[in-house]
Structure 1
Amino acid sequence: MLGFRPGSGPLLPVVMRLGDSLSPQGGGWAVLARAVGEELAALGVPVLLGVRPVEGRVPLLLGLRAETERPAVADRVAAALRAGVERAGMLRPGGRAPVVVVGPAGDWAAASTGLRHAAETATAARGLPDRPWYDARRLDIDLLLWRLRDHPDLAAFVDRSIGPVLDHDGRSKPALLPTLEAYLAHAGRKAETARELHLNRQTLYNRLARIGELLASDLDDPHTVLALSLALRARRHLP
């Protein structure tokens, strides 16, 4: 009845979440749905499209011929979704693009769970670097931390783990938190960290040594690295 004929292959759940600054008002949702639908129609894959104005989300299911199509179809769908947002006149120059989350492919029995997982993950993905799309399965830690965002133990954990660095950055320069974030993002590879931050090696070593002093921790210790990585991710979700 809805014109969705996916065949016998797996279904791919996808959710686009619009930021608060992008959420259309009134009849804007109809304009957005039409623009997104027209962009998706050009992909040549079966699509079931919906809109959820209250949550600011656009969920959809796509029919795949095989699981191996998932990455390529996800690339094309993410591009079509963003093109639809632009056609609807909602994406301003320099504005933050919507978040697109792709869930695991599965059968009809898994479609509902997959859409809910992708929808929650799209909310938990706020504050992450802009990407064409995120794999819901790789953001399960962020989703868990987002669900715990109002628990006082999470705030206490963040304060214990990185509080001294935050206090330092509130009083002194240069700020050390970006150095810590880049260092952990590059898994402790100092050369790559220095290149990203446009620092010479000695300056980077000095900043890392200062972070170690403030935290009274060894930044080469795996348990310390894990705790700091979790604390940085948790910090994005705190009220």
Structure 2
Amino acid sequence: PLLPVVMRLAAELSPAGNWALLARAVLEELASVGVPVLLGVRPVEGRVPLLLGLRTESERTAVADRVAAALRAGVERAGLERTGAHPPVVVVGVAGGWAAASAGLRHAAETATAAQGLSDRPWYDARRLDIDLLLWRLRDHPDLAAFVERAIGPLRDHDRTARPPLLPTLETYLAHAGRKAETARELHLNRQTLYNRLARISELLGTDLDDPQTVLALSLALRARRHTT
């Protein structure tokens, strides 16, 4: 099986003519991974696509860990790390044969673009970002912006003028599937303060945060806002 992988560099990290240097540095780092590699560069899109040869699909995760570390080390070796710049995004696609390689690389490349702005991880599994990819593809559709405004517009208005901001509280709460103890711990809040913030969010949105349909809509809106603002 062949494993498609795409690394996307942020615009501020574009090597500006030093793509050969980057490719050489990445290949040198990948030499220690222990799997066959085909590597290319796409300067216009700021992407480095790879095809990796696996012995079995069961080693996908272990190989992805090593490859992601090698890619980031190659970026560092090429002198492209900068303070304050967004780190490279590495997306690992679905393993398949030669017939599926082209589609797998295109899917990973699109997903790497859609993943811009997500919390930093060593690598992203393309299979787990299909919703983000769909929302990215709809980024220019006015209905998506209208949906985001209906769902979380009052919170965005609140956060422009009032403190504390409530959108981070809602994001963390939903990320922890409504588990208040975990949410409070991550936000460094006591339980009562968190309850007060959640009550204020419900009041502003006119919704019930315990309703599954409401939770689904809010989760989608929070993910979609990266592509509509």
Normalising by the smaller structure, the TM-score range is over 0.9
Given residue 160 of structure 1, which amino acid in structure 2 is its aligned partner? R
- Amino acid of the structure 1 residue aligned with 2:89: V
Mapping of residues 20-35 of structure 1, within 5 Å = 20-26=11-17, 28-35=18-25
Superposed CA deviations along residues 57-114 of structure 1, whole A, max 9, x for unmatched, are: 0000000000000000000000000000000000124532100000010011111110
Residue 178 of structure 1 pairs with residue 168 of structure 2: yes
Q: TM-score scaled by structure 2?
A: 0.99
Asked if 1 retains the 8 angstrom alpha-carbon contact of 2:10 and 2:85, the reply is no
Whole-angstrom CA distance in 2 between matches of 1:230 and 1:179: 16
**Partner of 1:60: helix, strand, or coil?**
strand
Number of positions where the alignment pairs a residue of Structure 1 with one of Structure 2: 229
Pick from 62, 79, 83 the counterpart of residue 69 of structure 2: 79
Which of the numbers 108, 133, 137 marks the counterpart of 2:98?
Answer: 108
Are residue 220 (structure 1) and residue 196 (structure 2) matched?
no
**Alignment match, 1:162:** 152
Deviations 1:151-188 (A, max 9, x none): 00000000000000111111211111110000000000
Structure 2, unaligned stretches of length 5 or more? none
TM-score by structure 1 length? 0.95
> 2:2 aligned with 1:11, yes or no?
yes
Q: 2: distance between equivalents of 1:171 and 1:43?
A: 50
Q: In 2, Cα distance between the equivalents of 1:187 and 1:137?
A: 20
Match of 2:185 in 1: 195
SS for the counterpart of 1:237 is helix
* Residue among 40, 44, 52 paired with 1:50: 40
Partners of 2:209 and 2:15 in 1: CA distance: 45
Aligned residue identity for 1:161: A
Which digits, 9 at most, give the CA deviation of each residue in 1:175-224, with x for residues without a partner? 11110000000000000000010000000000000000001000000000
CA distance in structure 1 between the partners assigned to 2:167 and 2:83 by the alignment: 28
Q: Which runs of 5+ in 1 are unaligned?
A: 1-9
| Residue of structure 2 in register with 1:5 after alignment | none
The one-letter code of the counterpart of 1:18 is: L
Q: In 2, distance between residues paired with 1:160 and 1:95?
A: 32
Q: Residue type of the partner of 1:183?
A: Y
